Structure 1
Amino acid sequence: MPTLNLKTDPLKILVTGAAGFIGFHLIKALQAFDHQIVGIDNLNDYYDPQLKLERLKVLGLELGSEGQALNTQARLACGNLSFIKLDLADRAGIAQLFEQEKFDLVVNLGAQAGVRYSIQNPHAYVDSNLVGFVNILEGCRQTQVKHLVYASSSSVYGMNSKQPFSTEDRVDYPISLYAATKKSNELMAHTYSHLYGLPTTGLRFFTVYGPYGRPDMAYFSFTQKILKGESIDVFNNGIMQRDFTYIDDIIEGVMRVMERIPAAQESELTQAHAPYKIYNIGNNQPVTLRRFITAIETACGQKAQENLLPMQPGDVPITYADVDDLIVDTGFKPSTSIEEGIGKFMEWYKRYYV
Structure 2
Amino acid sequence: MKILVTGAAGFIGFHTVKKLLLLGHEVLGFDNINNYYDTSLKYDRLDEVGITRKKVIDNEYVNSSTHKAFRFIKMDLTQKAAIMDLFRYERFDTVIHLAAQAGVRYSIENPDAYIKSNIDGFFNILEACRHYPVKHLTYASSSSVYGNNKTIPFSVEHNVDKPISLYAATKKSNELMAHTYSHLFKIPTTGLRFFTVYGPWGRPDMAPSLFTDAIINNKPLHIFNNGDMQRDFTYIDDIVEGILKVNKNPPKPKSPEIAPYLLHNIGNSNPVKLMDFINCIEKNAGAVAKKIFLPMQPGDVSKTYADISSIATAVGYTPKTNIETGVKHFVNWYISYKIKNKNEIKEII
1:57 aligns with 2:47: yes
In structure 2, give the amino acid aligned to 1:72.
D
| From 245, 257, 262, the counterpart of 2:251 | 262
Q: Structure 2 unaligned runs (5+)?
A: 340-349
In structure 1, give the amino acid aligned to 2:163.
P
Question: 2:202 aligns to what?
Answer: 213
The equivalences for 1:12-23 within 5 A come to 12-23=2-13
2: distance between equivalents of 1:272 and 1:127? 32
1:36 aligns with 2:22: no
Aligned residues: 336
| From 277, 282, 285, the counterpart of 2:270 | 285
Between stretches 343-352 and 242-251, larger displacement belongs to 343-352
**Secondary structure of the equivalent of 2:138?**
strand
Aligned-CA RMSD value: 1.2
| From 311, 320, 327, the counterpart of 2:312 | 327
Q: Given that residues 12 and 37 in structure 1 are in contact (C-alpha distance below 8 angstroms), is that contact kept between their aligned partners in structure 2?
A: yes
- Shift of the 186–272 alpha-carbon distance from structure 1 to 2, 3 Å rule, reads farther
1: distance between equivalents of 2:219 and 2:254? 54
Deviation at 1:272, TM superposition (A): 6.0
Question: 1:233 aligns to what?
Answer: 222
1: distance between equivalents of 2:257 and 2:211? 46
Question: 1:138 aligns to what?
Answer: 127
| From 75, 79, 82, the counterpart of 2:61 | 75
TM-score (norm 1): 0.93
1:304 aligns with 2:289: yes
The equivalences for 1:118-137 within 5 A come to 118-137=107-126
2: distance between equivalents of 1:296 and 1:244? 13
1:342 aligns with 2:327: yes
2: distance between equivalents of 1:83 and 1:71? 10
In structure 2, give the amino acid aligned to 1:306.
K
In structure 2, give the amino acid aligned to 1:323.
I
Question: 1:295 aligns to what?
Answer: 280
Q: Given that residues 265 and 274 in structure 1 are in contact (C-alpha distance below 8 angstroms), is that contact kept between their aligned partners in structure 2?
A: no
Identity among equivalent positions (%) equals 56
* Alpha-carbon displacement from aligned partner over 1:48-90 (angstroms, at most 9, x marks no partner): 1000000000011111xx47xx432121112100100000111
In structure 1, give the amino acid aligned to 2:44.
E
* Alpha-carbon displacement from aligned partner over 1:231-266 (angstroms, at most 9, x marks no partner): 110011111110000000000000111111101357
Q: Given that residues 286 and 320 in structure 1 are in contact (C-alpha distance below 8 angstroms), is that contact kept between their aligned partners in structure 2?
A: yes
Deviation at 1:338, TM superposition (A): 1.4
**Secondary structure of the equivalent of 1:115?**
coil
1:190 aligns with 2:176: no
